[in-house]
Structure 1
Amino acid sequence: MSLLNALARMEALRSGRAVPLATVRHVRLAEHPTVLIPLRLAGEAAAPLAVMAGTRREEPRLFVVPQPRNRDLRFAFFTELAGVVLRAVAGAQVSAETLEIKRGERKGETYQRFLDAPQLLVPNRNGIEFLRLTGRSTRFRQTEGEWPVPEEVPLLGRWLTWFADRSDYPGSSVLCAMTDLLALHWATGQSPMEDGNLASQLAWIEPPQGRTGLEASLEAEDPLLHPPAGPATDPSFDNEVLAPLIAAYDLAEDDGPAREFAAERVAKALSTQLEPTWELMWRGVELLRSLPEAPSVPQRFEGDRQSFTTFEESMAEGAPQARRDGAVAAARRLASLEGAASRYAVQRALDDPLVLAERRLAGEAFRGEVVWTDPENVNEKGLRRPLVQIATDDRLRVEPGKIVHNAARTQKAEVLEVSKGEILLRIENGMGNSRKPNPGSVPEPGDRMCFTTFTDEFRPSANLPDPEETPWTHGGPPEAYEPPNETTAEEMSHESA
């Protein structure tokens, strides 16, 4: 936790209300995001109980497994869930754009990229992990043979695996936990662990009239008023309500009215656990929509769209989805994750003055007023290189020779001198024409400017060998893919989970 974040939490505790950590929204929100609230059987990591899903607040859909240990009921549930997820996937594939490759050996060639990508919202990080596990346990199921499942089930598994993998990328918008999104934009007066409770977190952000966030959050922790947001249910509910209902379902006659009635009772009981969280999720969406979207969000969403397009193409071509990454694939993924994390941190700071303030406190950026300039200064080649002196109250942790970047535009400057409260810079670019600069490109006395030691520039990825050239020290080339045979498909699926 950063110093400013800690101070914001202290202020929230003092004032009784959550404190904003951002002035803009650092995530994309689809016009109609797909909200998923999963529940699973206690003690069974991959045994689903129910999911409430939908794209509109007033139209929730409930899918229930009245006996989670029944294999046929589980896969019927996965088939229904597939209808929701695959509908979101199909809705994002309506239109595409044609782009031209601008770098590398294929420069000049064109390719297609979808104009949209699906978005799933779950209550918390545990919901993401449940979908990840669901994907792993369903994507290798066979549609023929001894244990066949509907065709939608392995398709659902592959897409859920993609959603979960993509959610690891900082700034991705395809699968998000609501508690994470709210914590990114508001600091509550409780610990980060307590922020994992969606009801408690929202109680701090929007406490009822006449109540403090602390009072409202204590009330929100009551499981009778605000059941857990899943995927695990409340133990008292399991023992006192759910277990007897499932037992009654087991005792009812197969395919008879009594069993239908028992299944309806299970569904009704589970809906009472999911409906409060359903309302909380849409309250969270409304809160996030109240913030304007950050300028860099569309750029990050391009990465989601490209990943979505690439994965859809691999699905259409029948390419196998690896059970585990090879050495080269793992290295590429790690480098990609690190690059995404770095870009995300920089873009958030450049988009948001509240986020940038944390960098200024750390000495990674400074803001001040231009007190003197020499716009006619030239270098040894006769090119215009204006000098700018800035007075600032920020902590200066830069030395002469350091390159800093204008936070407001693509422009870099070299640090020439640093003294207490003042810094002398030489503008190196971003003027359009060094002999006749564009209007406004050369700072003038009285201008307020911010410079950073970081920038959002393109950085080429590291060169890695082809998978076929993986050295023996890293396991050698990966083995050729062989489809699992039907007699072992069920065991392999359990192993993948």
Structure 2
Amino acid sequence: MSVLHTLARAEAVAARRAVPAATVRHCHLADRPLVLVPLTTAGEAGAPLGAMIGTDRDAPELLVVPQPLDRELRFGFFAGLAAALLRALEQYTDEVEIEPATRTREETELCADALQMVVPNSAAVEYVRLVGRSTRFLRTVEDPDAPHPVPVPVPLLGRWLTHYAERSRTPGSGLLLAMTDLLTRHWATGQSAMEDQHLGALLGWIDPPPGSDGPTAAARAQTGRARDGLLLSPPAGPATDPVFDNRVLASAQARYDKARGAAERAAAETAIRDLVASQLRPTWDDMWRGLDLLRSLPEAAHVEERWKRDRWSFTGHRDRVRAGEPPQPKRDDAITAAQKLAGRETAQARLSAQEALDDPLAMAARRLSGEAFTGTVVEVEMTMSEGRRPMPRPVLTLTTRDLPQAEPGAKAYRALADAKSAQTAELVEVVELVEVREPGGGSGGGSGNEARAGNGSGSSDEAGCGSEPGSGNGSGSGPRWCVRVKLTGGMGSGRTPREGSVPAPGDTVTFTLFEHDPRSGPALPDAELTPWTHGGPPGADPAPTAPDPVTAEDFL
């Protein structure tokens, strides 16, 4: 948690209402996302009790398991969940666009869009992962030797849920989103991170009812109960309220178990469906309310780029399914695990950089930590590089209240409009400016400033910062710094810099000490060149791998 985020939480406590933590929306929101609100049985992590699913806020599809201990009823629930999910997926798998060929890729089909799934919180994301792992290996009724066959679409449901859950581990991915994570990224509340996982309480801080405030609305969502003793805002996602389980659900399931006739059992099942729906509907409504709040923010500039990566992932899994490839393994081999880890580390660095470039609040946190600085240009010295072909290397002198945490010679980067990559630069020196005042309170003669070496060395005359007092970026009291930066790229290939690539005196510019488009590390070795510590020795035939033993985790 950054200092600015901690400050925002303190401001939310003082204001008794959530405060913005972002000025733009850092995630893609589909026009018709698939909203899923799952509910599990208490004490049975993998036993589904019910779910609401759909893309229409006014017409959700309700799935209920009257008796979660009944294996056949569980499989019927998964069949219904598979029908809803696969029906939604079919709308995106066939509509494609053609990506032109590049130096490293042939002309390729890419799905024009992808299905986006939204769940209430991170616990629901883990439940999606559990359902995917527990169903993708099940044998269907088409296998005559299966001891407990399941409906045909259930394993396919598991494969898609596994892909969505795995993709959610990639920072910046938008295929599977947790609503609480989205809201806490864009608003800061005055409650703990654990309390933020309660969707009703979180929305109470962000958008309290008229005449109320954040703490009051959150407390009502967490503890407020109706006359029957049930919570007004049940924590569906996927936990249940213990009072609901003990007072209401247990007796309803007992009546279902004791029912003998078809009419009696149907009535008992209808009663359970109504009870489960009463627990799911408040969270369902909160999900769409959260989507409305997020849509009120403008979309960030780099969101579409990250969504395109999700579309590539969606297209790749669609192709693997159509090609008849086996389900995802329970455990990744060493090379696959290393590739996933490297890809996620790169995605995290890319996401952090893009959010800072898109959002002034995110950039302010990087400036506060010394990873970026914003200043006003006071002088531009046109110099040339040495060598057979001299190139322009302008040296910018700017004043700023941000102290770069880097030594002279470090690389810096500046975003240019309509440029594919950032402009590169080199940090020359950093000098602290000290305002000199006479004993009577007035300023001394001259500019009223002295230069004191910070991360570099030099004087005010050398740095070109002997300007009038008060110059520089920012307002208020505090130290000011004179920073000299040499531009090394982004100016074209001619002896004269391209127009607009070199700022003029008086311009406000922002440089970062982190790359704008981080690249992944070196490629991993091929399988035949992998050392013995990771599956070798090289050249030797790999030993046959025994299948994983069947455990209780594989069956819900």
Tell me, yes or no, whether TM beats 0.5. Answer: yes
Residue of structure 2 equivalent to 1:212: 213
Are 1:448 and 2:460 counterparts? no
Are 1:419 and 2:419 counterparts? no
Residue of structure 2 equivalent to 1:136: 133
Identity score, percent: 49
**Aligned to 2:297, which of 281, 291, 296?**
291
CA drift at 1:472:
3.0
| Residues 454-474 of structure 1, C-alpha deviations (whole Å, 9 max, x = no match) | 122252443223345543323
224-233 vs 446-455, which deviates more?
224-233
Runs of 4+ in 1 over 4 A off after TM superposition: 475-484, 491-494
Are 1:439 and 2:506 counterparts? no
Q: Distance in 1 between matches of 2:552 and 2:7?
A: 48
Q: Distance in 2 between matches of 1:496 and 1:467?
A: 33
Residue of structure 1 equivalent to 2:446: none
| Residues 39-98 of structure 1, C-alpha deviations (whole Å, 9 max, x = no match) | 000000110000011112111111000011111111111011011211232222232222
450-459 vs 230-239, which deviates more?
450-459
Residue of structure 2 equivalent to 1:384: 392
Q: Distance in 2 between matches of 1:96 and 1:448?
A: 43
CA drift at 1:99:
2.5
Q: Which secondary structure does the structure 2 equivalent of 1:45 belong to?
A: strand
Task: Report if the CA contact (8 A) 1:124-1:229 is conserved.
Answer: no
Residue of structure 1 equivalent to 2:21: 21
Residue of structure 2 equivalent to 1:364: 371
User: What is the 5 A alignment of 1:153-192?
Assistant: 153-192=154-193
Task: Report if the CA contact (8 A) 2:27-2:172 is conserved.
Answer: yes
Task: Report if the CA contact (8 A) 1:198-1:229 is conserved.
Answer: no
Residue of structure 2 equivalent to 1:196: 197
Cα 1:397/1:434, change in 2 over 3 Å: farther
| Residues 302-326 of structure 1, C-alpha deviations (whole Å, 9 max, x = no match) | 2211111111111111212212101
CA drift at 1:110:
2.1
Residue of structure 2 equivalent to 1:463: 523
Task: Report if the CA contact (8 A) 2:343-2:520 is conserved.
Answer: no
CA drift at 1:475:
4.3
Q: Which secondary structure does the structure 2 equivalent of 1:367 belong to?
A: strand
54-63 vs 152-161, which deviates more?
54-63
Q: Which secondary structure does the structure 2 equivalent of 1:176 belong to?
A: strand
User: What is the 5 A alignment of 1:277-426?
Assistant: 277-320=283-326, 321-374=328-381, 376-381=382-387, 382-409=390-417, 410-420=422-432, 421-426=481-486
| Residues 205-254 of structure 1, C-alpha deviations (whole Å, 9 max, x = no match) | 01122222111111111252111122110001000000111111111126
Which has the higher Rg, Structure 1 or Structure 2? 2
CA drift at 1:418:
1.2
Task: Report if the CA contact (8 A) 1:128-1:177 is conserved.
Answer: yes
Q: Distance in 2 between matches of 1:316 and 1:470?
A: 30
User: What is the 5 A alignment of 1:63-82?
Assistant: 63-82=63-82
Q: Distance in 2 between matches of 1:192 and 1:121?
A: 20
Q: Distance in 2 between matches of 1:355 and 1:433?
A: 33
Counterpart residue type for residue 116 of structure 2 = Q
CA drift at 1:198:
0.6
Unmatched tracts of structure 1, length 5 or more: none
CA drift at 1:35:
0.4
Cα 1:461/1:480, change in 2 over 3 Å: farther
Cα 1:70/1:303, change in 2 over 3 Å: same
Q: Which secondary structure does the structure 2 equivalent of 1:286 belong to?
A: helix
Task: Report if the CA contact (8 A) 2:40-2:46 is conserved.
Answer: yes
Residue of structure 2 equivalent to 1:84: 84
Task: Report if the CA contact (8 A) 1:198-1:280 is conserved.
Answer: yes
Task: Report if the CA contact (8 A) 1:398-1:418 is conserved.
Answer: no
Residue of structure 1 equivalent to 2:263: 257
Are 1:93 and 2:100 counterparts? no
Counterpart residue type for residue 322 of structure 2 = A
Q: Distance in 1 between matches of 2:210 and 2:175?
A: 34
Cα 1:366/1:35, change in 2 over 3 Å: same
Q: Which secondary structure does the structure 2 equivalent of 1:28 belong to?
A: coil
CA drift at 1:379:
1.7
Q: Distance in 1 between matches of 2:486 and 2:97?
A: 41
Task: Report if the CA contact (8 A) 1:402-1:415 is conserved.
Answer: yes
Residue of structure 2 equivalent to 1:240: 247
Q: Distance in 2 between matches of 1:441 and 1:77?
A: 60
Q: Distance in 1 between matches of 2:271 and 2:89?
A: 32
**Aligned to 2:118, which of 121, 133, 136?**
121
Task: Report if the CA contact (8 A) 1:370-1:447 is conserved.
Answer: yes
Q: Distance in 2 between matches of 1:292 and 1:134?
A: 34
50-59 vs 93-102, which deviates more?
93-102
Cα 1:448/1:206, change in 2 over 3 Å: same
Q: Which secondary structure does the structure 1 equivalent of 2:44 belong to?
A: coil
Task: Report if the CA contact (8 A) 2:346-2:518 is conserved.
Answer: no
CA drift at 1:479:
6.3
Counterpart residue type for residue 231 of structure 1 = P
Task: Report if the CA contact (8 A) 1:323-1:496 is conserved.
Answer: no
Unmatched tracts of structure 2, length 5 or more: 226-230, 433-480
Root-mean-square deviation (Å): 2.0
CA drift at 1:496:
7.0
Counterpart residue type for residue 339 of structure 2 = R
Q: Distance in 2 between matches of 1:305 and 1:390?
A: 42
Counterpart residue type for residue 435 of structure 1 = R
Counterpart residue type for residue 202 of structure 1 = L
Q: Distance in 2 between matches of 1:383 and 1:246?
A: 80
Q: Distance in 2 between matches of 1:394 and 1:459?
A: 27
The structure showing larger relative contact order (alpha-carbon pairs under 8 Å, at least 6 residues apart) is 1
CA drift at 1:18:
0.5
